[in-house]
Chains A and B, each alone.
Chain A
Amino acid sequence: MADLAERDATRHRAQLVRAVARDGRAITLTIDGREVAATEDDSVLATILTHGPRLRHLEFGGEPRAGFCLMGACQDCWVWTAQGERLRACTTPVRAGMALLTLPPAFAAPGPFATP
């Protein structure tokens, strides 16, 4: 799992690119186990996509997705947390210590599910 994220991060650069800086409290959280820095009020979507090329994998066939409408309508940016919570990434701000997953927890754990 962490391998997949690392491979993605090195093979493809991040999808979103920061245009202007944000002033605010610096926080840390993890994406697929990798520790990343963010600023309070960054969205989950912006945080994941400024660190990698994708947000999640489609339930049907596993193709990569990175959200689409960015305004809470298409529902194509729901991600998981290690605690099993589901979050709509484009409208949810990050919190310190969040453990975000780009695959459902069942896929992230070693087990019968193959990584798509």
Chain B
Amino acid sequence: MTRIVIVGAGPAGINAAETLLAHGRQPILLDEGRQAGGQGYRKPSPGLRLDMNALMGSEASKYQALHERFESLRGQIDYRPGTLVWGIDGKTLHLQQDGRATTLDYDALVIATGAMDRIAPMPGWTLPGVFGLGGAQVALKDQGCFIGRRVAFLGSSPLLALAARQYRALGAEVVVIADTTPFVRKLAALPALLNSPRTLLRGLAYLGGAMRAGVPVLHGVTPLAVAGDGHVESLLIRDAKGRERRFACDAVALGYGLKPETQLAELAGAQLAYDEAFRLWLPQADADGRAGDGLYLAGDGMTIGGADAAEASGALAAHALLADLGIPSDAAAVAALRRRASRLRAFQRGLSQAFAWPVAQIRALPDDVTLCRCEKVSLGEIRQAMAQELGPTEVNRVKAMTRCGMGRCQGRICGPALQEIVAGVGNIAGAEAGRLRMQAPIKPVALAAAKAGAS
């Protein structure tokens, strides 16, 4: 029997498992998390007195439905929570579970590894109290904690308003929602956003709610500094009218949309291509998620589409896999899933313009700003290395010379900004700056564990 492995138990992975099971196949579902749901539909850890219906708002019914569906299928599949896939070698996965390394061979692989916050550095962003925007939501959902008492939400993302609403609803003070994208650019993106009017209206309602509550909601801001002595004490920005404004706060949630976790797709052999709209390297797949021989991609780990697109694309990838095994599936259902995924992804392309990655702001950052927080490499060190005679204009060469991107996160945090700096200094297109190559282990693994697995 063909062994099918799914990596990631978020909406994409769960839908893939459900579709395979409905067609008589029992996949192995590996997930680094201790509970299924992924990031967006993350379940509270046990015992938290958290009202998830209130927290999830208009998405509560989808959240509940996904978890109910997972509960009904988990006993019928080989579900392995708390399992990190840290390497892929041929058709063998390298795993770490409970501190022990093992391997698992597969015939077909569905990668649904999701996404994380995309971060633009700024002065002071390494101070304790600055966290990723999605992380600010995880602190609440997973641990029932706010990242601070008085929180500034900064970046460019529809999640700014959503996270701020969740924080306010539970009693935190939101001192500002500051978006770097000018308002006129949001209007220009309207036609694409009308692909999902419901989502658009929901976002506007969140912003309206914040404004009615007296929270300053600013567009077109330039982040100047997070200031404080050993911890966050204030956020300084320049507003769209050119005025400097300081907001006293003890935490900053920082995020510029999402960035797919593509490491495993790359190790499994998927081709990556530079996407001009998102300004990210994305793994390539056909409309159903086929990315290679026995390799299928789904969800935000393939391209940012949001939770609804992840559900559709997870099912699509499973249908593609079944079709390749010669198992007939429902052509009408597949066509409907394709339409749905394609429409939602078009909406996200619109969002990437309405909530733009701030290329010019990143390139204008001063030399003393830390770009790589793992290895403490400053922007000035990158610029200096590139300015040398025969200096590099490719990110892997810059990494080799400066150690930027060589730390424990493997460039997950600094990578997108490094790409813009290298392209800017080299005066070349984003794609020409190259792509930070991934390698195993994709996350730190104890040598003792790897040795135990090998013996």
A49–B146 alpha-carbon span in the complex (Å): 11
Chain B min CB distance to A110 (Å)? 24
Residues of A within 8 A of B375 (CB): 60
CB of A17 within 8 A of CB of B444, answer no
A65–B130 alpha-carbon span in the complex (Å): 10
Interface 1/0s, chain A 2-21, versus B by CB < 8 A? Answer: 00000000001001111111
**Best-surrounded residue of A21, A41, A67, A69 (most CB of chain B within 10 A):** A69
Report if B129 contacts A (CB, 8 A). Answer: yes
Residues of A within 8 A of B142 (CB): 43, 70
**Cβ contact of B46, chosen from A12, A20, A24, A73, cutoff 8 A:** A24
Chain A min CB distance to B120 (Å)? 13
Residues of A within 8 A of B135 (CB): 67-71
- Residues of A within 8 Å of B, CB-based: how many? 45
A–B Cβ pairs within 8 angstroms, 19 of them:
A15-B147, A16-B146, A18-B145, A19-B145, A20-B50, A23-B49, A49-B145, A65-B126, A68-B130, A69-B135, A69-B412, A70-B131, A70-B139, A72-B443, A73-B116, A73-B412, A76-B408, A76-B409, A91-B32
In the complex, which residues 125-140 of chain B have their Cβ closer than 8 Å to any Cβ of chain A? 126-132, 134-136, 138-140
A residues near B, CB below 8 A? Answer: 12, 15-24, 39-43, 45-46, 49-50, 53-55, 58, 60-61, 63-76, 78, 86, 88, 91, 93
User: Chain A residue with minimal CB distance to B412?
Assistant: A73
Report if B171 contacts A (CB, 8 A). Answer: yes
B residues near A, CB below 8 A? Answer: 32, 34, 39, 45-50, 116-117, 126-132, 134-136, 138-140, 142-149, 170-172, 230-231, 250-251, 261, 373-376, 407-409, 412-413, 443-444, 446
Residues of A within 8 A of B409 (CB): 73-76
Residues of B within 8 A of A24 (CB): 46-47
CB of B230 within 8 A of CB of A15, answer no
Chain A min CB distance to B17 (Å)? 21
Residues of B within 8 A of A65 (CB): 126, 128
CB of B170 within 8 A of CB of A12, answer no
With known contacts A19-B171, A23-B49, A74–B145 Cβ distance under 8 A? no
Residues of B within 8 A of A42 (CB): 45, 143
CB of B128 within 8 A of CB of A75, answer no
User: Chain A residue with minimal CB distance to B50?
Assistant: A20
Secondary structure of the B contact surface, majority rule? loop
User: Chain A residue with minimal CB distance to B171?
Assistant: A19
CB of A15 within 8 A of CB of B144, answer no
A72–B85 alpha-carbon span in the complex (Å): 13
CB of A15 within 8 A of CB of B128, answer yes
A72–B170 alpha-carbon span in the complex (Å): 25
**Best-surrounded residue of B134, B231, B412 (most CB of chain A within 10 A):** B231
A83–B48 alpha-carbon span in the complex (Å): 30
A26–B170 alpha-carbon span in the complex (Å): 24
CB of B374 within 8 A of CB of A15, answer no
CB of A21 within 8 A of CB of B49, answer yes
User: Chain B residue with minimal CB distance to A20?
Assistant: B144
A100–B221 alpha-carbon span in the complex (Å): 40
CB of B373 within 8 A of CB of A76, answer yes
Residues of A within 8 A of B140 (CB): 19
A64–B131 alpha-carbon span in the complex (Å): 14
Residues of B within 8 A of A21 (CB): 48-49, 144
